[in-house]
Each structure stands twice: as C-alpha cells, then as structure tokens.
Amino acid sequence: MNEKQAKLSFVIPCYRSEDTIEAVIEEIRSTVSQRDGYTYEIICVNDSSPDRVLDVLLRLAAEDTRIKVIDLAKNMGKHAAILAGYAFVTGDYVVNLDDDCQSPVCELWKLLDPVQSGAYDAATAKYRKKKQAFWKNFGSWINMKVGTVMLNKPKNMYFENFSLLKRFVVDEILRYKNPYPYLEGLVLRATGRILPVEMEERDRGDGKATGYTFRKSLALFFNGFTAFSVKPLRVSTVIGIAAAVGGFIWALVAVIRKLIHPESVRILGYTSIIVVLLILGGLILLSLGLIGEYIGRIYISLNNSPQYVIRQTVNTDPEEGKND
C-alpha cells in the first residue's frame, strides 16, 4: 500500500431515507472514483426505519458486496446507529455522513487530505449557513455551548453530519460500551487534533422534515452533558455554597437588626421569607433532579442495557472486507 492508497469506510445511519439513500451511495461512488488508489466500503445501518429503506439497502447490497447492511432491531437514535456501524469497519479512514443528501460528499477530499497527511486525526465539516428549523439552530447553539463548557471542546469546533476519523479513533470509540452514546464526546475523548473545514451544507434531498424530533434532540442534549462530565454537579455545588454564604450573612444582619431594633418585624416579613423559600426550594429540587439523572444513568448502565440490537447483517463477512 503506497502512501496515497487507503481504504475508506463510509458509515451511514439510515432513517426514513428510502428516496435518498441511493443518491447518497451514488455520490460516494463517483467521488471516490475521482482518484486512483482508494478502495471503499459503505456501511449502512438501518435504525429501524419505518419506511422501506431496508428493502432498498438489501437490493443495493445484493448488487455490490462493498455495501454492507446492519439492520437494527429497534430505533436507537443516530449515535447508537453509527456505533453499530463502527463495529464492522475495516478501512483506514472512517467517514460519517447522513442519509438524506445533506452531507456534501463531493467535498470528501477536503476532509481526507489533511488527515491522510498525518497532521490531524480527524476532520469535520463546518457549515457556513445552517439550513434547518429555528429551534434546531437554537438547539445546536446550546449543544455547542454545552460542548465547550462541559466537554472542554475547542471553541469554534462543530461536529456536523459530515466528518472523517482515522481508524484508531474509531477503535478507541468502540471501547465505550455504555448506553447513551454521544459521538462528539467520544471523539473528543480520543483526540484533540481535529480540523474544522468550512463548507456548505445542502438541503435534504427529499424535502422531508427532520427525523430529529424535539424529544430526540433533548435526549441527545442530556447525553452530551451527563456522559462525559460531572461539571453540572459542580455547578450546583458552587450555587449551593453561594446560597449558603448569602443566607448566613442575611441571618447575621437579621439578628443584629432585631437586637438593635427589637420592635421591628419588617426585616423578617412574609415576602422575604417566601422568596428565599421558593428560590432555595427550586435550587434544591433542581440539583436533586440532576443527581437523580446521573444515578439513573449509572443504574441503567449497570443493567447492561445495550447500545443497539442487531437483527441481521449483510455482506459483513470479515474475509470479504480484506479482499477489497
């Protein structure tokens, strides 16, 4: 294998994409064929899609053994589906992309060249303008902030629906066995040498609405900050300390004023008491809920809840992968 030769593994989580997946695969084929010396495999993970995308995948896989199909028994979400695909990767570089033509596959080399040159372990698309619903833009912004604060993510680093990882990063990610996978956190846990590459995101190929419902986005958000960080717990500790110090000072003031002006009841009036009660009560419940969230996740992890369950696979014979 000379320096410029390598095997690329494309991993595509598939959900409601019976109308677009063929075009995505076709674009991969034509992009890779632009240069000599690259072999590839396309690992399509059917995340228990309600449409007939599995039929399309099985048909394509019957025509071309480079297309591998992993059929999940339950809908586990994008990140779990990607991890299911990673388990079957045989290439040197792993490309993550979406199934709905939104990832600009034609820009593949912009991600691959800097990584293949050895300067970076990963590269990710950084989109100039986001084409998605307002609340998703807002959600992405929050997710980015959470990533920067909770995961110590470098500023200006976006993980989009198009990225490329060196194989060792994927192998490292595969060591994570807990439920609630969060890809961004897993990549950042493995390497810091990640290159953002500016490019343009495309619209969905079929004009459908996003498969990422508000509920799924929220679940992902919780995965993001609880899976790799205990900073939220520290924040509640700091708020607790601040409230305690403030309360102590206020108590001192109240007692001293009472001693100086025994006739005054104003300083311990109803309003101040109820305000303090409500604020503190709210904070206590909030931090209890937070602790509960962590404990619940520990409990479910201890239960060995699976990240995903595979119903069947096609073309995944490891010997076949080596022949490519």
What is the bridge-based pairing of β-strands 122-127 and 67-72?
unpaired
Q: Which stretch binds ligand UDP (CB under 6 A): 74-82, 171-179, 182-190, 315-323?
A: 74-82
158 near ligand UDP, judged by CB under 6 A = no
Cβ-based nearer residue to ligand UDP, 148 or 210: 210
77 near ligand UDP, judged by CB under 6 A = yes
Whole-number Å distance between alpha carbons of 209 and 167: 33
Q: Which stretch binds Mg ion (CB under 5 A): 102-110, 114-122, 275-283, 297-305?
A: 102-110
Cβ-based nearer residue to ligand UDP, 10 or 40: 10
Q: Which stretch binds Mg ion (CB under 5 A): 28-36, 62-70, 98-106, 168-176?
A: 98-106
In this structure, the dihedral spanned by the alpha carbons of residues 264, 265, 271 and 274, taken in order and rounded to 10 degrees, is 140
Tokens of 225: 């900050």
Q: Under a CB-based contact definition with an 8 Å cutoff, are residues 7 and 90 in contact? A: yes
Residue 37 corresponds to which amino acid?
G
Whole-number Å distance between alpha carbons of 81 and 248: 51
- Cα angle for residues 105, 108, 113 (degrees, 5° grid): 175
223 near ligand UDP, judged by CB under 6 A = no
- Cβ-proximal residues to 302 (8 Å cutoff; 6+ apart), any chain: none
Through-space distance between the first and last CA atoms of the chain, rounded to whole angstroms: 13
Which listed residue (132, 148, 191, 229) binds ligand UDP by CB under 6 A?
A: 132
Which listed residue (102, 143, 223, 315) binds Mg ion by CB under 5 A?
A: 102
Whole-number Å distance between alpha carbons of 134 and 298: 33
78 near ligand UDP, judged by CB under 6 A = yes
Which listed residue (13, 85, 181, 196) binds ligand UDP by CB under 6 A?
A: 13
The least CB distance from residue 97 to Mg ion, in Å, is 10
Which listed residue (19, 71, 92, 100) binds Mg ion by CB under 5 A?
A: 100
The least CB distance from residue 78 to Mg ion, in Å, is 10
Angle formed by the axes of helices 78-86 and 183-190, to 10°?
Answer: 50
Binding site for ligand UDP (CB under 6 A): 13-15, 17, 47, 75, 77-78, 81, 98-100, 102, 132, 161, 210-212
